[in-house]
Amino acid sequence: MLSPYPQLVRAGFRRYAAYRQAALAGLATNAVFGLLRASVLVAALAERGPIAGYDIATAVTYVWLGQGLLNVVNLWADRALAGRVRTGDIVIDLGRPWDLHSALLADDLGRAGYAVLMRLLPPMVIGMVFFPFRWPEHVATWALFAVSTLLGTVVSFGIRFLLNLSAFWLLDARGVLAVWGTFGGLLCGLIMPLQWFPAWAQAVLAWTPFPALFQTPIDVFTERGDPCVLLLHQLGWAVVLFGLGRVALAAGARRLVVQGG
Amino acid sequence: MDESTGSAAQVYARIVASRIRGQLSYPGSFALDVVAQLVGQGIELLAILVIFTQVTSLGGFSAAEVVLIYGLAATAFGLADLAVGQVEALPDYIRTGEFDVMLLRPLGTLAQLLCADVQLRRVGRVAAGAAVLAWALRDVEWTPVRMAVAVVAPVAGAVILSAIWIAANCVSFWLVDGREVANSVTYGSDFATSYPITIYGPWLRRVMCFAVPGAFVAYFPALALLGRPDPLGLPAALRYCSPLVALIAVGVAAFVWRIGVRHYQGTGS
């Protein structure tokens, strides 16, 4: 029998490909915010020259990559899984002949694949064509960036999965997801480069999975630091979060009581 | 006639009161929601403070001056969000056909939509903005004119942002998935108004500060409160024009809404 997961990746891709108008509309938001955020960073650099190794080209590249990655790693979680936990429909998902955790990851990777085409590449092209863009110096950087984006997506999935599963214990994961939605952008380096943060904040964040979502792929692309260390940090958190996700799902499933039947 | 308008106002008051009562019936959840809104509004302030750990001025403005602009913008945005934020739900009402129901009722469509789901938790945003504004205003050398600006500016700014919000969301009458297009204007304005307009390039400034009149929400009133010259050299009279711009914006928004409703044909199912 064929493994269902490659087909789930394809299904995830096609599901999002069905909403082309939504993708175009989303691009408008990315473009406006890219312009505004780039203005802020460039204004800061105009005051005193490069900050923490960011010149204007690097800052502009940082902004457009961030706007593009936003929908690939998918920072802002949807509540679908939490909703199925609350209503009990999760029982049906657990009963299917698949590993639910892997199936959802496969679906998310398909979604991310479509987002690379429709949401990541266009903002990058805007940055390349209309702004001073920091091109990678090594050809290998493009491949490393692709791997880093993939790992960032897996880490993001791990966080979103755990937050959604909190519904097993809290019944309503909305508050938890709202907190993540509020702080996520700042902690992951979407809003400001993490290297601009005070040293203590950088030291704390280095021990968290958060930079893996945005700052690390962008650092890989702009060739800051050793790419092996950066990718290993992402890989480590991807594995840890996947493991935690399995434990949490198993623990949650044990709490599940199916009434009647 | 008087009797009927009186009863319409009563209907709206009842609807809004029922929505608010509903949200207050879960006080714990409500308190958390308010705190989340309060903190959410503070994130952009943190970003501003991070920048000022690296530089001493941004676009020719000091940290305290940028915080004043941010405080004015955040208060105005919070008030606008509270008043008309529900207009974001327009695509859902159109998709589900509930907008057709609104058209049938003997009440204004826009007013019905705005009253349908008032989110009281958004007072958290207003509170965050007002607290920052109060802090930023402590060094202002007060004159009667500046006092008037300090009181009128957040309200006029809220009216301007509300008008922008309504006009932008009218795009849903034409596009099935227009919400994100509207977001680029509404949340884009929220972001754009939080910084001095001097940081934007000439084209971005023309679009986000004057065509979409974001500059009148916080930047010009802040110049009046700070009593400082405009680095862009624009006429001093502009800093007192926010209420006038607000009136024009309301007129434009009402016009766009009317065209949108007239264009609306339903989803057909």
What is the length of chain A? 261
- Shortest Cα distance, chain B CAs vs residue A35, angstroms: 8
The candidate with the shortest Cα–Cα distance to A114, out of A19, A233, A254, is A19
Whether residue B47 and residue A192 make contact (CB cut-off 8 A), yes or no, is yes
The reported pTM is 0.90
CA–CA separation, A12 and A107 (whole Å): 5
Q: What is the ipTM of this complex?
A: 0.89
* B54 at A interface, C-beta within 8 A: yes
Written as six digits, the tokens of B140 are: 């202002």
Using a CB-CB distance cutoff of 8 angstroms, which residues of chain B are in contact with residue A43?
Answer: 58-59, 195, 198-199
The residue of chain A nearest to residue B59, with distances taken between CA atoms, is A43
Burial B79-90 (b: 16+ CB within 10 A, else e): bbbbbbbbbbbb
Which run of H or E residues covers position A25? helix A20-48
* B202 at A interface, C-beta within 8 A: no
Asked whether the CA dihedral B101, B104, B110, B113 is positive or negative, the reply is negative
Query: Along the 261 residues of chain A, how does pLDDT read in single tens digits?
Result: 568 899 999 999 998 888 888 888 889 899 999 999 999 999 999 988 999 999 999 999 999 999 999 999 998 878 889 889 888 889 889 989 899 999 999 999 999 999 999 999 999 999 999 999 999 999 999 999 999 999 999 999 999 999 999 988 887 787 788 888 888 999 999 999 999 999 999 999 999 999 999 999 999 999 999 999 999 999 999 999 999 999 999 999 888 877 654
Residue partners of A187: CB distance under 8 A and separation at least 6: A205, A208, A210
In chain B (269 residues long), the average pLDDT of successive 10-residue segments reads 65 87 80 83 91 94 96 96 91 87 88 85 90 93 95 96 95 84 91 95 91 95 94 92 96 95 78
Whether residue B180 and residue A196 make contact (CB cut-off 8 A), yes or no, is no
Whether residue A196 and residue B54 make contact (CB cut-off 8 A), yes or no, is yes
